[in-house]
Amino acid sequence: MKLEVGNFFVKDVLFGSETSFQNGILTIDKEEALQVVRQDDHITDVDLVIAKPGDPIRIIPVKEAIEPRCKVSGGVMFPGALNKLAPAGSGRTHVLKGSCVLAVGKHWGGFQDGLIDMSGPGAERTMFSQLIHICLVADTDEEFERYEQQKRNKALRWAGMRLAEYIGQCVKNREPEEMEIYDLPAIDKRSAEVNQLPGVVYVLQLQSQMLENGYNALVYGWDTNHMVPTLIHPNELLDGAVISGSFMPCSSKISTYQHVNNATIKRLMKEHGKTINFLGVILTNLNVQLEEKNRSALFVRHIATTLGAKGAVVCEEGYGNPDADFIAVINELEDAGIRVVGITNECTGRDGRSQSLVDLSEKANAIVSTGNVSELLKLPPMEIVIGELEALARDGNSGGWEGCVKEDGSIEMENNGMFCSDGNTGEFIKTVVEL
């Protein structure tokens, strides 16, 4: 399967009379873009605001991040979710690198929503401070979930995907500045030299704890709570087959932007044929019942052993209850003779002294930590707030609490509430060190 990703590097984003890209400048026809957003009648109030690295801007509550891109050939964007069901991972996709669409609540946030600072000490806490954002700031008529701690946020999240695809269309017929080629052949088509290298699988544990549809990660539009572990080609993930869910403390969440830019997969692809034989991606879920956890871990083991894997990288989305799935998969793979490296964040309390994972095992002896979700942050006031700062304290944000927003606009919060800041898919540098 061959995927061509054509990159156009965005240096600045402006509003103008037409949506276009020229000499590094992305210009957006604001009214036309808003018409795309308003295709959903549930959007009642909406605006677009641009936020750039270094700006004195705080964005809260952030619900989703999507990279502007479009399919040139070989399928559709966000298949089975935004668009019709079709295969992902082949043909050509054009991408506006360095830009990002953020879905932001105008007022109402929730457990799963996060904060981004574009400058100051908070900007060091998330990779999203390094991108130019087209902030889709909206309110909806989804009154049934307004006062709920956990929200589907469907109207806003789907509007973000529509907007990202609309913006991406402006480079559909352009020649990209850079072309990335992801060409991983079928296992039976690989050379004898490649097949002699140690086989490695990537196991991505997607958030799927909610029983009701609409909260969990989606694979080709299918709710991951209802799936069993599934083998996919890495190109499919890099081409939009997986959509982020709306349930997860925000620092631990993997946004749709991060799925299509999964740095661990890109590194495994780079090492294929040199140091490893990359066998594919096993998507698995993080359900609540013990029987479901054990079943999924067993399925992961069977897929990996059937492929002949000698090594695995296991990435966990979340912490707490999902730690049991994380350790169960590591135990099963290690028992099968497959060496595992795990990637996860930790929940060690504000003083860093608590047990890092809910479940532990001596077999989990090679773990990459992406930080402590409970780390206490004190951030100064910011000149501009996009969205509503009070949402951090009022709406059950996983990193905020009543009184965490001070009169001068400064805040205290846990890392929990920094938008996708732990970067378990490998895009960020934050980790834990022993002092």
Tokens of 227: 């799936």
Which tens digit of pLDDT belongs to each residue from 311-340? 999 999 999 999 999 999 999 999 999 999
Give the residue ranges of DSSP H helices in 107-207: 154-168, 192-195
Q: Dihedral, CA atoms, 175, 168, 94, 97, nearest 10 degrees?
A: 100
Nearest Cα to Cα of residue 119 among 105, 109, 133? 133
In whole angstroms, what is the distance from residue 316 CA to residue 301 CA?
16
ω into residue 56 within 30 of 0, thus cis? no
Contacts of 235 (CB under 8 A, 6+ apart): 1, 2, 3, 88, 89, 90, 182, 184
Which tens digit of pLDDT belongs to each residue from 234-269? 999 999 999 999 988 899 999 999 999 999 999 999
Q: Is 166 helix (H, G, I), strand (E, B) or coil?
A: helix
In whole angstroms, what is the distance from residue 101 CA to residue 159 CA?
10
Provide the pLDDT for residue 33: 98
Tokens of 395: 């709406």
| Residues forming a β-bridge with 387 | 60
Which tens digit of pLDDT belongs to each residue from 105-150? 999 999 899 999 999 999 999 999 999 999 999 999 988 888 888 8
| Residues forming a β-bridge with 222 | 219
In whole angstroms, what is the distance from residue 175 CA to residue 8 CA?
9
Provide the pLDDT for residue 144: 82
DSSP 8-class letter at 272 = B
In whole angstroms, what is the distance from residue 49 CA to residue 52 CA?
10
| Residues forming a β-bridge with 283 | 204, 230
Answer for the pair 12, 26: CB distance below 8 angstroms, yes or no: yes
Which residues, given as ranges, of the chain have pLDDT below 70? 434-435
Q: Which residue has the tokens 């009648």?
A: 41
